[in-house]
Every structure is written in C-alpha cells, then in structure tokens.
Amino acid sequence: DKGAFDHYMLKEIYEQPRALAATLALDARHRVADELFGEGAAAVFDKVQAVQIVACGTSFHAGMVARYWLEELAGLPCQVEVASEFRYRKRVQHDNTLLVTISQSGETADTLAALRDAAPGDFLASLVIANVDNSSLVRESDLVFLTRAGVEIGVASTKAFTTQLVALLMLTIALGRRRGLSEDRATDLVNALQRLPEYVQETLELDRDIEDLSEAFIAKHHALFLGRGIQYPIAMEGALKLKEISYIHAEAYPAGELKHGPLALVDNNMPVVAVAPGDDLLEKLKSNLEEVRSRGGELFVFADRQAGFASEPRVRVLNMPHCPEVVKPIVYTVALQLLSYHVAVQKGTDVDKPRNLAKSVTVE
C-alpha cells in the first residue's frame, strides 16, 4: 500500500529514517555486537586479514563505499567487484579473506553464482548482507547480517542501499576493533550512526528545494555526476538512479578524472552534479568545479551547509545538513534519490517499474 505517496519509490525514500534506525541494532551498551553477524562471527572476525566484496548494481556501489571504510578504519585490504566479472576470472586471494556478498533480494543470479563458485579453501568464510530472510544467499552463507529495510517494492533500490551502508559500517567497526581502531573512535562512529536517522530526516525536509533543482534536468539527454573519495561511489549511485528511472544518460566520474576526457563533453547542455566531500578533498573539488563552470556547464552542488559554497550564476547549491564525515555518503544518497525521483515524475516515466528492468535479476 502506497499510503499517501504517489509511488512506492517515494514512500520507500521516506521510510529511510525508520529503516536505518531498525537496522542499527546495537547491544545494550551501544556497541556493535559480533553476534549480529551470525553464530561464530567472532571467531571468524579474529582471523580476517582481507575482505573481498562481490555484488551487482546498487549493492555493488555499497561495496565501493565500504572499501573506503574498511581500509581507513579497520586497516584491511579490500577488493570490490561486480559479481558477473568476479565469477568468470582467475583470481589471486590473500590468505584469510572474508568473502562478503551484498544483495537486497538475496537471489541475484550472478552474486549467488559467485558465492557458489568460490572454491572451498579460497576464503576464510562467507558473509552476506541481505534484506530478505531465508533467501538463497542467506541460506548458503556462513554468516548473515539482515538489514531491516522492510519490503522494497520500487525497482530502484533506495532504503535497501542506505541500510546496506549501515550494515557495512557496523562490520567495519566490528573488524576495526580487532585491528587497532580505538574505543574512542569506535564510540564516535557509533554515535554518528545513532544520529543518522535524524540527518536523513533533515535531508527529506529539503524535498521541495530538490524538486526545484530537478526541473533543470527534464529536457536534458545527459548528465555528469562527480565525486571525490568516498563520495565517488555515491556519484555512481546517483547516476545509476537517474538513468534507471528517468532514462537520462548519466555518467559518474571521480572529479580528478575530468581533465582526462569527460571535460570535452561539458557545455550548457550538460548538467553536472557534484557531491562534495567535507574533508581535505573539498578544495580540490572546488577547482574541478571551476573547470566545469568556465566551460559553460551548469553545476548542481550538494554540499555541507558549512562548506562555504554559495549559489551564483550557473552554480546551484543545495545546502545539506551538517553531519559527521563518516555518514555523509548515506545522507547525500537520499538527496540524490529525491533528485532522480522528481526528474522521472516530471518526465512521466513509470517510476516504480522502469522499462526493461526487473526488481530481482534471477537469471544471468
């Protein structure tokens, strides 16, 4: 039931504060409990020396974000690959690698085949992050973290993605504790997670402003999404969402790659969306954006309201809630979901069931 919403996608976007809070199952002392990942997780986590993430589509983007967390906070080498590539190539594995699959449905054919094909002995253990209990991936993995997004009906993944990110940050904290992540830093991360539903709620309150921005995209055929650091995979997710439901061709690039090719595409028919990081990469992003502006491109910047961006001719800034760096990928995703949603609605596409796509891809 869509309730008061016009589409399931919009309802599911708005359910995120609740879905995220439900997925944040911390123990009584507000710590990430090993048991959340299934029986025997603690013994496996003690031995992990590397992580291999395998997934498709939006779930793959969640894995791309997690790589930044796992390497920076847990000091673990992490590889991320789309399942349809991973399963068909000869690989070299670190010792004691944890295989992590990510899947909303738990039934995606390539992801399941990647798990099944992983030779016994190649991996220390398998862990799935899934939203559907008793799905094939859940039944066949050694360890399981179930996200609590609730049923997702819209083909475009929204609350499934943001809850996957929460699960992956919790996994990073559990693994990090064993690898030099200080208790103080772990507590900061948990505190940031606990306030996440609040930051997402504040982002939902920007809905009207985002709808205003969306009008500039309706008559366009292409769009470029730029990010740096951990916001690069969020730019990828923003681009996927736009192409999937509005049928506008969208590409994501790490902003530092602009000069190496995509800048040639920029003119006043190419809206450029920038997802700003708040750290030392911010200044670098600003100079990339100047490159776009001086070529006549129109910029749409999603940035922390304290980051010092102001709207000016050909630059429209969406002031995002001020929040800890670590949860920014999750918070900014919500704004990009709303952007694609409004573009698609105004174009009149079938938002919940985009052409040619299925909710669950159970064939190769």
Choose the stretch contacting ligand M6R; rule: CB under 6 A; options: 97-105, 191-199, 250-258, 331-339. 97-105
Choose the stretch contacting ligand M6R; rule: CB under 6 A; options: 152-160, 175-183, 187-195, 339-347. 152-160
Options 23, 104, 203, 333; binder of ligand M6R; rule CB under 6 A: 104
Contacts of 194 (CB under 8 A, 6+ apart): 24, 26, 30
**Residue 175, CA distances (Å) to 50, 51, 179, 269 in order:** 10, 10, 7, 46
Indicate whether 108 belongs to the interface with ligand M6R (CB under 6 A). yes
| Least distance (Å) between residue 170 CB and ligand M6R | 18
Cα–Cα distance, 92 to 94 (Å, whole number): 7
Judged by CB under 6 A, the number of residues near ligand M6R is: 15
Query: For the chain, how are helix, strand and coil distributed in percent, rounded to 5?
Result: 50, 15, 35
Indicate whether 156 belongs to the interface with ligand M6R (CB under 6 A). yes
Known catalytic residue at 359: yes
| Interacting positions 345-364 with ligand M6R (CB under 6 A) | 360-361
Cα–Cα distance, 5 to 12 (Å, whole number): 9
Indicate whether 16 belongs to the interface with ligand M6R (CB under 6 A). no
Indicate whether 57 belongs to the interface with ligand M6R (CB under 6 A). yes
CA proximity to 13, closest of 234, 211, 195, 161: 161
Measured from the CB atom, the residue of 135 and 214 that comes closer to ligand M6R is 135
Contacts of 110 (CB under 8 A, 6+ apart): 56, 82, 83, 84, 87, 361, 364
Choose the stretch contacting ligand M6R; rule: CB under 6 A; options: 28-36, 103-111, 276-284, 324-332. 103-111
| Phi, psi for residue 357 in degrees, rounded to 5 | -115, 155
| Least distance (Å) between residue 58 CB and ligand M6R | 3
| Least distance (Å) between residue 107 CB and ligand M6R | 7
Cα–Cα distance, 133 to 151 (Å, whole number): 11
How does 152-170 read in b/e, with b if 16+ C-beta sit within 10 Å? bebbbbbbbbbbbbbbbbb
Cα–Cα distance, 315 to 298 (Å, whole number): 6
Q: Which residue has the CB atom at the shortest distance from ligand M6R?
A: 57
Indicate whether 59 belongs to the interface with ligand M6R (CB under 6 A). yes
Options 111, 147, 333, 337; binder of ligand M6R; rule CB under 6 A: 111
What is the contact surface with ligand M6R in residues (CB under 6 A)?
56-59, 103-105, 108, 111, 155-157, 244, 360-361
Give the active site residues: 359
